[in-house]
Chain A
Amino acid sequence: MPRDTLTGSRIRERRVLRGMKQADLARKAGISASYLNLIEHNRRRIGGKLLLSIAEILRVEPAALTEGAGAALIASLREAAADMPQVSSELDRVDEFAGRFPGWAQVLADSHSRVAQLERSLETLNDRMTHDPHLAASLHEMLSTVTAIRSAASILAEPGEVDAEWQARFHRNIYEDSARLAETSRGLVTYLEADETSPLETGAPQEELDAALEKAGHTVPELEAGGDRDAALSALGRGLSGPARGLLRGWLDRYAADAAALPLDRLRPAVEEHGPDPAALAAALGADPARIMRRLAAMPPEDLPTPVGLAICDSSGVLTYRKPLPDFPMPRFGAACPLWPLYRALSRPHVILAGPVMQVGRTGTLLWADALATPQAGPAVNADPLYQAQMLVRPLPQGADPPATPPQLGVACRVCPRESCEGRREPSILASARR
Chain B
Amino acid sequence: MGGQVLLIEDEPNIIEAIRFILSRDGWQVHTHSNGTDAAQIVRDRAPDVVILDVMLPGRSGYDILRELREDPAHSELPVLMLTARGQSKDREMAERAGASRFMTKPFSNAEVLDAVRALSAQ
Contact = CB atoms under 8 A, between A and B. Distances in A.
Interface of A: 139-140, 143-144, 146-152, 154-155, 158, 160-162, 166, 169-170, 173, 176-177
Contacts of A146: 105-106
Contact of B109 (A151, A176, A177): A151
B13 A166 contact: no
A147 B24 contact: no
Interface stretch (B15-23, B36-44, B73-81): B15-23
9 contacts: A139-B85, A144-B105, A147-B105, A151-B18, A151-B108, A152-B13, A169-B16, A173-B16, A177-B13
Nearest to B13: A148
Nearest to A158: B109
A143 B105 contact: yes
Contacts of A147: 11, 14, 84, 105-107
Contacts of A139: 84-85
A150 B13 contact: no
B96 to A, nearest CB: 19
B20 A148 contact: no
A161 B18 CA distance: 15
By size class, the interface of chain B is 10 to 19
Chain A interface, >50% SS class: helix
Most B CB atoms within 10 A — which of A143, A151, A170, A173? A151
B55 interface: yes
Nearest to A161: B24
Nearest to A169: B16
A143 B13 contact: no
Given A148-B11, A150-B108, A173-B13, 12 more contacts: A143-B105, A143-B106, A144-B11, A146-B106, A151-B21, A151-B109, A152-B13, A155-B17, A155-B109, A162-B20, A166-B20, A173-B17
Most A CB atoms within 10 A — which of B11, B17, B105? B17
Nearest to A154: B109
